[in-house]
């Protein structure tokens, strides 16, 4: 009898909502809301068709990139973006380290922990474009606004992930160094930093890649970099020059990815 029951029984994943009627009602409400939002967006099929015709011209020009006519502007924009990326990443690393240690619950006093976490949350709450608009309004157009934007964004990113890495360290190593009578700076240097350094270097290289891509986006709102040149090319309908800019950006991101992979392999 027991064997027959076990043969007829098949395991089923338990439902989050056990009542079938409630599940049907929820599915219906989700579908109704989806239809409502689709209608409220007032999507115009004619505009979509017009956009498709424009995109055909753009993609046609994409395969005929013009590196010559705007070559100097493209080079200046790329150099400016790379400079912004490098400076912002360095500043972000330097500033994020104390906040990372302060946001690690296992080594930081509660007041410092909550203060550091608050700074990280504020930094991570805003997208780069929003931050860039603020700095452009405050200090004006140009790469300085871009550097401040990328630095501010890097602080939250690096500090949060590094704090989580510190919280996962092997505490027995810290206790072993502490037993020798080491001071707090010595504990940091010889017990904590060696455990988090490989991960931190990987995060720094990854953030360098993110900052370069973000520099193109924030340039659209006037925060310097290649994004300003790209936006100007689109405004003038110079799709061939825009294609040249995008190709250069793709090449740089690809080289950055190869460099990042090389660093990660070395760290392993």
The HSE-up count of residue 59 (CA atoms within 13 Å, CB side) is: 6
- Are 143 and 224 spatial neighbours (Cβ–Cβ below 8 Å)? yes
| Mean pLDDT, rounded, of the chain | 84
Quick: pLDDT tens for 102-151: 888 888 888 899 999 999 999 998 888 899 999 999 988 888 999 999 99
Q: How far apart are the C-alpha atoms of 127 and 143, rounded to whole Å? A: 18
Residue 127: CB atoms within 10 Å: 12
Whether the per-residue pLDDT at 4 is higher than 60: the answer is no
**What is the predicted pLDDT for the residue at 59?**
76
The topology under which CATH files domain 71-267 is MetI-like fold (1.10.3720)
pLDDT confidence bin for 180, thresholds 50/70/90: confident
- Are 119 and 96 spatial neighbours (Cβ–Cβ below 8 Å)? no
Quick: pLDDT tens for 74-91: 888 889 989 999 999 999
**What is the predicted pLDDT for the residue at 12?**
67
Angle between helices 71-102 and 143-167 (to 10 degrees): 40
Residue 244 tokens, joined: 């040249």
Closest by CA to 143, choosing from 221, 247, 209, is 221
- Are 124 and 156 spatial neighbours (Cβ–Cβ below 8 Å)? yes
- Are 157 and 93 spatial neighbours (Cβ–Cβ below 8 Å)? no
What are the percentages of helix, strand and coil residues in the chain, rounded to 5?
A: 80, 0, 20
Closest by CA to 154, choosing from 84, 228, 204, 82, is 204
In sequence order, what are the residues at sequence separation of 6 or more whose Cβ sits closer than 8 angstroms to the Cβ of residue 252? 78, 82, 212
**What is the predicted pLDDT for the residue at 7?**
56
Whether the per-residue pLDDT at 196 is higher than 60: the answer is yes
pLDDT confidence bin for 158, thresholds 50/70/90: very high
**What is the predicted pLDDT for the residue at 249?**
86
Quick: pLDDT tens for 218-259: 888 888 888 888 888 888 878 888 888 888 888 888 888 788
Quick: pLDDT tens for 27-58: 899 999 988 887 887 777 787 777 777 777 77
């Amino acid at each position: 009898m027991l064997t027959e029951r076990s043969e007829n029984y098949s395991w089923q994943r338990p439902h989050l909502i056990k009542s079938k009627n409630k599940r049907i009602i929820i599915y219906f409400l989700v579908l109704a809301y989806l239809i409502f939002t689709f209608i409220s967006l007032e999507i115009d099929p004619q505009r979509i068709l017009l956009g498709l015709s424009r995109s055909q011209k753009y993609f046609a020009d994409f395969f005929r990139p013009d590196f010559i006519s705007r070559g100097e502007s493209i080079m200046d924009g790329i150099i400016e973006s790379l400079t912004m990326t490098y400076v912002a990443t360095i500043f972000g690393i330097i500033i994020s380290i104390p906040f990372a240690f302060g946001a690690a619950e296992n080594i930081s006093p509660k007041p410092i922990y909550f203060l550091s976490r608050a700074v990280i949350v504020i930094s991570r709450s805003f997208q780069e474009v929003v931050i860039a608009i603020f700095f452009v309004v405050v200090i004006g157009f140009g790469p300085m606004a871009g550097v401040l934007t990328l630095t501010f964004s890097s602080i939250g990113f690096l500090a949060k992930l590094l704090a989580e890495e510190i919280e996962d360290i092997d505490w027995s190593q810290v206790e072993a160094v502490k037993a020798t009578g080491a001071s707090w700076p010595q504990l940091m240097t010889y017990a904590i930093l060696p455990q988090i350094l490989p991960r931190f270097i990987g995060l720094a290289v990854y953030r360098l890649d993110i900052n370069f891509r973000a520099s193109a986006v924030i340039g659209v709102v006037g925060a310097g970099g290649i994004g300003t040149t790209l936006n100007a090319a689109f405004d003038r309908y110079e799709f061939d020059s825009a294609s040249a800019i995008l190709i250069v950006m793709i090449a740089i991101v690809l080289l950055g990815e190869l460099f990042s992979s090389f660093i990660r392999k070395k760290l392993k």
